[in-house]
Amino acid sequence: MTYQLHVGPCEVVLKSVPDNSVDAIVTDPPYGISFMGHKWDYQVPTVEQWAECLRVLKPGGHLLAFGGSRTYHRLVVNVEDAGFEIRDMIEWLYGTGFPKSHNLEGEFNGWGTGLKPAHEPIVMARKPFKTTVANNMAQYRTGALNITACRIFTTEELSSGRGALLSHQRDGNEPTSNYHQAPEGRWPANLIHDGSDEAIAIFPANAGAASPVRGTEPSAAGTGNILGMRKRVATHHHGDSGSAARFFYCAKVTPAERDEGMERFISFSASEMTGGRKEGSAGLNDPRAGAGRSSGAKNPHPTVKPIALMKYLCRLITSPGGTVLDPFTGSGSTGRAAIEEGFSFIGIDLDPDNIVTASARIGYSYKQMSAPAAPTCQNSVPPAISRSLNPI
Ligand SMILES: C[S@@+](CC[C@H](N)C(=O)[O-])C[C@H]1O[C@@H](n2cnc3c(N)ncnc32)[C@H](O)[C@@H]1O
């Protein structure tokens, strides 16, 4: 497990990275919305930048890139025009956004110009390859998703149907073998939420399956070993409880997590961090900036992503021991995530100050990961000594 950090435009830095050498790209690039007046956010990444990413990625390697809801289409078109195959879109839902709206008064009181932001789309794309997925995995360890490592744990007993727990291959054919309950949990979905009350309210219990059980479905006897037929009670719902627990969830980054590893740095005020906005102004609470806008922080980057989310995304598309690239590293959240998952990491950012921040944060994770495991008292420390070490 190693990491490298580079300062400079990614399209230039990537020229020194060999062809087909990176396993996965997980990145949060500029959204092209001039976020808080930052010049680096004026444009979504260009076709040329994605073409360099494609070149360094191994055949079958996946790209996961966040986009803004207003500019996502431009992001995806450029990724596709660079030669990637678009595979899916993951949605990260959250309840903490603030509407950015020009509200009218007088006769038009109650009219405004913007909705409350409540999601960030993530494009999932893949570098084309010539052979089968199985052969490509054998040659490069890329091309497939690590479903098992990303299953959503549940203690619920689930049956067949839309419960999303089942693990047959969705290749356009009906499953030929019996359903099996996967003990590791539910199949990961292309939806993630932040666990907030608002997000959870979208998934009222028992409303998750597409249609209620009619009670007239075929009996279990005629359908072999398919599990759960006995539970077909009219008015209940197919598959599972339909709660938000079906999906991976991760809240927006906390102030403590933003600054972890930066204890030796000085704090920036909230106003400095948001490009001179007044204390108490709406911009300090901008949704993309995450938590912490109303107070200062040691990590001044305005768009820090949560580590748990980035870990999940790295794990989904990277084989054990692989290398993750983030060409738009910012304060290094992908790097922290990659290292904490045991992957190697290559990070690039235009701004040297961001690389200093990223270096402190990723170094923190690296030290945590390479620290020898704390000795346990069991077997090695006699009870009398362990009591004196732990007086409580
Ligand atoms: C949205 S931020 C990434 C924030 C990151 N996810 C974090 O948690 O800190 C995007 C970053 O891309 C960088 N950037 C913009 N254009 C770039 C380019 N051509 N090459 C490298 N970095 C670039 C910006 O400096 C900015 O820090």
pLDDT tens digits, residue range 319-331?
A: 999 999 999 999 9
Looking at the domain assignment, is residue 360 inside a domain?
Answer: yes
Q: Tell whether the model's pLDDT for residue 26 goes beyond 90.
A: yes
357 lines ligand 1 (CB under 6 A): no
Angle between helices 72-81 and 47-56 (to 10 degrees): 50
Give residue 204's pLDDT.
67
224-237 pLDDT per residue, tens? 343 444 444 444 43
Q: Quick check: helix, strand or coil at residue 261?
A: coil
Q: If you write DSSP's letter for every residue of 62-131 in order, what string do you get? A: EEEEE--TTTHHHHHHHHHHTTPEEEEEEEEE-S----------GGGTT--S-PPP-EEEEEEEE---SS
**DSSP state letter for 373:** P
- What letter would DSSP give residue 282? G
Show the domain range for 82. 3-152+248-255+299-369
Give the per-residue pLDDT at 203. 76
Q: Is 159 in the pocket of ligand 1 (CB under 6 A)?
A: no
Q: How far is CA 179 from CA 91, 164, 185, 216, in A?
A: 28, 12, 14, 21
Using pLDDT thresholds of 50, 70 and 90, give the confidence band for residue 375: low
Nearest to 290, CA basis, from 111, 40, 66 = 66
Q: Read off the pLDDT band of 177 (50, 70, 90).
A: low
Element (H, E) at 58: strand 57-66
Q: From the CB of residue 229, how many other CB atoms can be counted at a distance below 10 Å? A: 17
pLDDT tens-place string over residues 183-196: 778 889 999 988 88
Inside any domain, residue 57 = yes
Does residue 318 fall inside a structural domain?
A: yes
The whole-angstrom separation of Cα 313 and Cα 341 is: 10
* Residue minimizing CA distance to atom 12 of ligand 1: 328
For residue 8, being part of any structural domain is answered with yes
Residue-level pLDDT at 130: 96
Q: Whose CA is nearest to atom 7 of ligand 1?
A: 304
Backbone angles phi, psi at 383, to 5 degrees: -55, -40
Q: Is 239 inside any structural domain?
A: no
Looking up residue 67, the CATH number of its domain turns out to be: 3.40.50.150
Dihedral sign computed on CA atoms, order 86, 61, 245, 340: negative
Q: Could you tell me the distance, in angstroms and rounded to a whole number, from the CA of residue 327 to the centre of ligand 1?
A: 7
Q: Which residues, at least 6 apart from 202, have a Cβ–Cβ distance to it below 8 Å?
A: 93, 193, 244
* Strand ranges of the sheet holding 57-66, from the earlier edge strand across to the other edge: 3-7, 344-349, 323-326, 22-27, 57-66, 119-126, 85-93, 191-193
User: Does the CB atom of residue 325 touch ligand 1 within 6 A?
Assistant: no
Q: Is the CB of 330 under 6 A from ligand 1?
A: yes
**pLDDT given at position 276:** 53
- pLDDT bucket at 98, cuts 50 / 70 / 90: confident
Mean pLDDT, range 213-219, rounded to an integer: 53
In a domain, 310, yes or no: yes
* pLDDT tens, position by position, 28-84: 999 988 776 777 777 899 999 999 999 999 999 999 999 999 999 999 999 999 999
Rounded to the nearest 5 degrees, what angle is found at the Cα of 328, between the Cα atoms of 370 and 148? Answer: 55
Whose Cα sits closest to atom 22 in ligand 1? Answer: 349
Nearest-atom index, ligand 1, CA of 303 = 4
Contacting residues for 20 by C-beta, under 8 A, at least 6 apart: 55, 56, 57, 58, 59, 140
- Classify residue 274: in a domain, yes or no: no
Token pair 């102030």 is at which residue? 255
pLDDT at 360: 97
Name the closest-CA residue to atom 2, ligand 1. Answer: 330
pLDDT, greater one: 119 or 161: 119
Number of domains present in the structure of the chain: 1
> What is the number of helices (H) and of strands (E) in the chain?
11, 8
Give φ, ψ of 115 to 5 degrees: -95, 165
**Percent over 90 (pLDDT), the chain:** 56
Query: Is the residue at 383 inside a domain?
Result: no
| Span 146-167, pLDDT tens digits | 999 998 877 665 554 444 344 4
